[in-house]
């Protein structure tokens, strides 16, 4: 693992020298955008969008691979030529078109029905919990509810009951329950697709969280198949040690990523 400034510069120089063969796969939250309390308020760090434009022209591919929906990524990082792999690669936006994994599309009516059932439930109605329409999933949020602890059990029961009724999975989080189809995407599939479709011989993955580990694993796999790869972890107070331990390079926060992108665009 290399962390010094010089090695970041060396890594960047080596990538710039063969930019046309290199695919850049970037996570969004915590990588391009600082983590914020309100997930809807996440925006790329100032300066990122301007840098991605020349990078998308020069590199074999620039892709943003995230758990967020592709249209969200396209809206907030609007750069021609950038590929947006949303929902962990199950959805892709590129040059204005959006493709979705057919298994997810097939489950959409169940998500709509579950959203309606949640909206009609006493627990959601009486607590004032916010339903987040994620198109292929629905989130029940209690962060802005008065006294969320008081409602946690009732909402948990309701969310589980509705998920079961419509054949959805439930993913509980901090003051959020997400109901979604049991269709798995992983960022590693997204990385492999970007590399295959761009014809890149080299791949760089940048991420800050556990969800980026499959992308790191894809890089390791690709290097055994004759590609070059660089796994870049973004350090923060919450960065998982497993990610930092398997990184070839560590950057300090989204600011460190911005500096790295500057070197790549220079
Ligand atoms: Mg992240």
Domain 5-100+185-265 adopts which CATH fold?
Answer: Rossmann fold (3.40.50)
Would the pLDDT of 116 be above 60? yes
Quote the ligand 1 centre to 127 CA distance (angstroms): 30
Which residue stretches of the chain are H helix?
5-17, 48-58, 70-76, 102-106, 108-120, 122-127, 148-165, 187-198, 213-224, 241-245, 253-265
- Backbone phi, then psi, for 10, in 5-degree steps? -65, -45
Quote the ligand 1 centre to 244 CA distance (angstroms): 13
Nearest-angstrom CA–CA distance, 205 and 207: 7
| pLDDT for residue 6 | 62
| pLDDT for residue 174 | 75
Quote the ligand 1 centre to 25 CA distance (angstroms): 12
Neighbours of ion ligand 1 (CB under 5 A): 27, 29-30, 208-209
Residue 94's alpha-carbon distances to 9, 55, 64, 83, in angstroms, are 30, 16, 11, 5
Would the pLDDT of 2 be above 50? no
Quote the ligand 1 centre to 29 CA distance (angstroms): 4
Question: DSSP letters along 153-178, please?
Answer: HHHHHHHHHHHHHTT-EEEEETTEEE
What is the enclosing helix (H) or strand (E) of 83?
A: strand 83-86
Quote the ligand 1 centre to 148 CA distance (angstroms): 26
CB 163 within 8 A of CB 170: yes
Close Cβ partners of 51 (under 8 Å, ≥ 6 residues apart): 258, 261, 262, 264, 265
Quote the ligand 1 centre to 236 CA distance (angstroms): 11
CB 232 within 8 A of CB 205: yes
Quote the ligand 1 centre to 211 CA distance (angstroms): 7
Quote the ligand 1 centre to 210 CA distance (angstroms): 8
Give per-residue pLDDT as tens, 126-159: 999 999 988 899 999 998 899 999 999 999 999 9
Give per-residue pLDDT as tens, 8-64: 999 999 999 999 999 999 999 999 999 887 778 899 999 999 999 999 999 999 999
Quote the ligand 1 centre to 183 CA distance (angstroms): 20
Quote the ligand 1 centre to 112 CA distance (angstroms): 27
Nearest-angstrom CA–CA distance, 186 and 97: 21
Q: Where are the domains of the chain?
A: 5-100+185-265, 105-180
Nearest-angstrom CA–CA distance, 93 and 80: 11
Give per-residue pLDDT as tens, 179-212: 999 998 899 999 999 999 999 999 999 999 998 9
Region 105-180: CATH code: 3.30.70.1020
Quote the ligand 1 centre to 205 CA distance (angstroms): 12
CB 12 within 8 A of CB 264: yes
The single-letter DSSP state of residue 182 is S
Q: Give the residue carrying structure tokens 């079961």.
A: 164
């Amino acid at each position: 693992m290399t962390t010094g400034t010089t090695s970041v510069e060396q890594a960047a120089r080596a990538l710039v020298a063969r930019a046309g063969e290199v695919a850049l796969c970037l996570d969004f939250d915590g990588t391009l955008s600082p983590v914020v309390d309100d997930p809807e308020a996440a925006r790329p760090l100032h300066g990122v969008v301007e840098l991605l434009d020349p990078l998308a022209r020069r590199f074999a591919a620039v892709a943003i691979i995230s758990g967020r929906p592709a249209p969200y990524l396209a809206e907030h990082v609007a750069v021609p030529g950038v590929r947006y792999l949303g929902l962990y690669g199950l959805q892709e936006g590129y040059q204005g078109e959006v493709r979705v994994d057919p298994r997810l599309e097939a489950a959409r009516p169940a998500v709509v029905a579950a959203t309606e059932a949640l909206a009609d439930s006493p627990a959601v109605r009486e607590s004032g919990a916010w339903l987040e329409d994620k198109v292929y999933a629905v989130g029940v949020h209690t962060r802005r509810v008065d006294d969320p602890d008081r409602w946690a059990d009732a909402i948990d029961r309701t969310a589980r009951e509705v998920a079961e009724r419509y054949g959805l999975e439930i993913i509980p989080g901090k003051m959020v329950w997400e109901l979604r189809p049991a269709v798995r995407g992983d960022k590693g599939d997204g990385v492999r697709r970007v590399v295959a479709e761009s014809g890149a011989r080299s791949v760089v993955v940048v991420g800050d969280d556990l969800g980026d580990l499959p992308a790191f694993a894809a890089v390791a796999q690709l290097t055994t198949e004759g590609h070059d790869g660089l796994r870049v972890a973004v350090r923060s107070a919450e960065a998982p040690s497993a990610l930092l331990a398997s990184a070839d390079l560590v950057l300090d926060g989204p600011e460190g990523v911005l500096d790295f992108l500057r070197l790549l665009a220079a």
